[in-house]
Amino acid sequence: MLIISTIATVAFPVSWYVKNDLIGIVNGMSVILQLVAFMYFYKMLKPQISWFKAGLNTTAKSIYSFAICSLFLKVIVQLLLLFSDIATLSH
């Protein structure tokens, strides 16, 4: 679900060149689907995080934390781009 929604968000840059309301709808639905998939992913990992982190060194913990935070920020930025004023600024 996360991979499909990420690929579907390509509709956002396509909307810069092709003016069609359907492209905006596809982008909006894919961003919302991406948010739901991220929440499901985090909910699935949460019970196992402490067990997983116990066997890692400090560097590996930092890298995994950075990866999860990067994914979260990507979803948040794409969610903010649903607002037309912010999307215009990013263009």
**C-alpha to C-alpha distance for 41 and 2, rounded to whole angstroms:** 9
Q: Inform me whether the pLDDT recorded for 28 exceeds 80.
A: yes
Q: How many CB atoms lie within 10 A of CB 40?
A: 12
Give the SS3 label for residue 17: coil
**Token pair listed for 15:** 């909307």
| Residue-wise pLDDT tens digits, 53-71 | 788 888 988 998 899 899 8
Residue at token pair 């060149």: 17
pLDDT of residue 63: 92
**pTM (whole model) above 0.75:** no
**C-alpha to C-alpha distance for 6 and 26, rounded to whole angstroms:** 11
**C-alpha to C-alpha distance for 72 and 66, rounded to whole angstroms:** 10
